[in-house]
Amino acid sequence: MKKLLLNNKFILWLIILNALVIFVMSFEGISKPFEIALSIADVLLTLVFVAELYLKTKTRGVRKYLSTAWNKFDFVVISVSFFSIFLYCIDTTTVDLSFVIVLRVARVFKTFRFIEFIPDIGSLLKGIQRAFKSSVLVLISLFVYNFILGVFSCHLFKSVAPEYFGNPMISLYSIFQIFTVEGWYEIPNTIASNSTPALGALATVYFILILVSGGILGLSLVNSIFVDAMIADNNDELEKKVDSLNEKITRLSEQIENLSKQDK
């Protein structure tokens, strides 16, 4: 049993099984016996993960085990999900429902452990971290642009389309929605239907400019910087290989020249 709990492949299959159990448990209307069986399976799998955590900390020591980021992640996820077991001991008719919901959601955290089994996940996360650092200034600029347009649009269209520009927060969200090219045409159509034809036409042009500048150009710029930074490591490795190949070719050509001189 100890070997199984310390076997990463076995734990991966248990994580997949637990994800399926949680997925099925989320459906309404399943039979009571089946629901009880799923609940028992969920509790047993959680206890197995706790036993795995105990064995790893016992064999490696707590400090050594927590020395890596992934083990810290496992520790937090398993600890949080462990408290979801108490959900089955709570009477939902006498306990605050919000607390029960928090415990129910905590069960899902066990599925996050699947991330650490993704091949080369360490390199991928480093690439994402590097990409965020490279694109942070562009993201801040895009946020400032969103903020300016949101406040400006709030003053312009507050009375015409209050559902989109009733207050600055709603207005910021509406402008961000346009940036994501999601249902952007609904906003100018609403303004056009609640105002004069001239104002409706101007609003359409105004939001098309926002869509092009923020949604197409702005997000495209962020995406290009993000992707370029993520693959920077691959480019560096390729450049090193090319440099190494050039050095070998140079040495080989020098040896050929020396041999030709000796022959002469």
**pLDDT tens digits for 5-32?**
778 788 888 888 888 888 888 788 888 8
Tokens 């290009």 belong to 224
Q: Where in the chain is the domain with CATH 1.10.287.70?
A: 123-230
Fold (CATH) for 123-230: Helix Hairpins (1.10.287)
Residue from 87, 76, 7 nearest 43 by CA:
87
Where the chain has pLDDT below 50, the residues are none
Amino acid at 231: I
Residue from 155, 165, 131, 152 nearest 233 by CA:
131
pTM: 0.56
Query: Long-range contacts of range 142-150, CB-CB < 8 Å, 24 or more positions apart?
Result: 142/179, 142/214, 142/218, 142/219, 142/222, 145/213, 145/214, 145/218, 146/172, 146/175, 146/176, 146/179, 146/214, 147/172, 149/175, 149/210, 149/214, 150/174, 150/175, 150/176
Instruction: Show the CA angle centred on residue 204, arms to residues 198 and 206, nearest 5°.
Output: 100
CB 121 within 8 A of CB 115: yes
Instruction: Show the CA angle centred on residue 75, arms to residues 92 and 26, nearest 5°.
Output: 35
* 233 C-beta neighbours (distance < 10 Å), count: 13
For the chain, where are the alpha helices, taking DSSP H only?
Answer: 2-5, 8-25, 32-60, 62-65, 69-82, 97-106, 121-157, 162-165, 168-179, 186-193, 197-210, 219-230, 232-263
State the average pLDDT for the chain.
80
Please give the pLDDT value at position 144: 93
Please give the pLDDT value at position 236: 56
CA dist 135 and 140 (Å) reads 9
Residue from 84, 128, 103, 112 nearest 230 by CA:
128
Fold (CATH) for 2-117: Four Helix Bundle (Hemerythrin (Met), subunit A) (1.20.120)
Please give the pLDDT value at position 64: 86
Please give the pLDDT value at position 234: 54
Please give the pLDDT value at position 90: 62
CB 110 within 8 A of CB 49: yes
Tokens 């991928």 belong to 124
As given in the structure block, the two tokens for residue 164 are 């989109």
Q: Where in the chain is the domain with CATH 1.20.120.350?
A: 2-117
CA dist 210 and 204 (Å) reads 10
